[in-house]
């Protein structure tokens, strides 16, 4: 009976997790409450040229964003930089470096989104200026397990 009970518990846990997930994702739906949206901004011209259908092909620095396991197929150090100037004085910068080691490939990355200084206005009165920006750093690792299977992960914060 214990062997029959265990799959039911696992199914119930998965079902509760799936039911809870949308609530946690959409719980910050008010004005000014979104975070991390700039992580969806693409920085790879190669991936953008393919319509962002890049997950299976990721074999360069941008693999840290698309599929960290793809780092296992990189055999030379690579550096990628990017600067994008958007409308409204918004700029996005990216820096990424990957380096093969004896057991796979490691990578570091940083991204910075900034909007310059803005006027702070409260009830029609100017109250100084403030800066708007978002930044993250990341570490990635890709390891070839066999000729056709690789493992990878990316930690951002």
Read off the pLDDT of each residue in 103-131 and give the average, rounded to a whole number. 86
| Rounded distance between C-alpha atoms, residue 64 and residue 71, angstroms | 7
Residue 6 domain-assigned (yes or no): no
Residue 63 domain-assigned (yes or no): yes
Residue 131 domain-assigned (yes or no): yes
Read off the pLDDT of each residue in 105-115 and give the average, rounded to a whole number. 89
Residue 113, both tokens: 């989104």
What does pTM read for this prediction?
0.68
Exposure of 68 in the CB half-sphere (CA atoms within 13 A):
21
pLDDT in tens, 57-98: 777 888 888 888 889 888 999 999 988 888 878 888 999 999
pLDDT of residue 26: 52
- The per-residue b/e assignment along 16-45, b for 16 or more CB within 10 angstroms, e otherwise, is eeeeeeeeeeeeeeeeeeeeeebeeebbbe
Residue 5 domain-assigned (yes or no): no
Residue numbers of the domain that contains 55: 33-156
Residue 42 domain-assigned (yes or no): yes
pLDDT in tens, 28-48: 555 555 666 666 677 777 777
Residue 87 domain-assigned (yes or no): yes
Residue 4 domain-assigned (yes or no): no
Check: CB of residue 151 under 8 Å from CB of residue 83.
no
Check: CB of residue 154 under 8 Å from CB of residue 64.
yes
Q: For the chain, how many structural domains are there in total?
A: 1
Residue 18 domain-assigned (yes or no): no
pLDDT in tens, 141-156: 999 988 888 899 888 8
How confident is the prediction for the chain on average, in pLDDT?
78
């Amino acid at each position: 009976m214990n062997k029959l009970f265990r799959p039911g518990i696992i199914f119930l846990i998965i079902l509760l997790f799936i039911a809870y997930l949308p609530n946690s994702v959409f719980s910050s739906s008010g004005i000014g409450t979104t975070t991390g949206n700039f992580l969806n901004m693409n920085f790879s011209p190669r991936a953008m040229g393919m319509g962002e259908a890049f997950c299976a092909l990721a074999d360069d620095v941008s693999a840290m964003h698309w599929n960290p396991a793809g780092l296992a197929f990189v055999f030379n150090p690579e550096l990628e930089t990017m600067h994008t100037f958007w409308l409204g004085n918004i700029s996005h910068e990216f820096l990424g470096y990957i380096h093969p080691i004896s057991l796979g490939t490691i990578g570091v990355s940083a991204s910075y989104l900034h909007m310059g200084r803005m006027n702070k206005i409260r009830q029609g009165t100017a109250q100084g200026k403030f800066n708007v920006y978002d930044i993250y750093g990341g570490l990635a690792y890709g390891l070839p397990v066999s000729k056709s299977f690789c493992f990878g992960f990316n930690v951002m914060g």
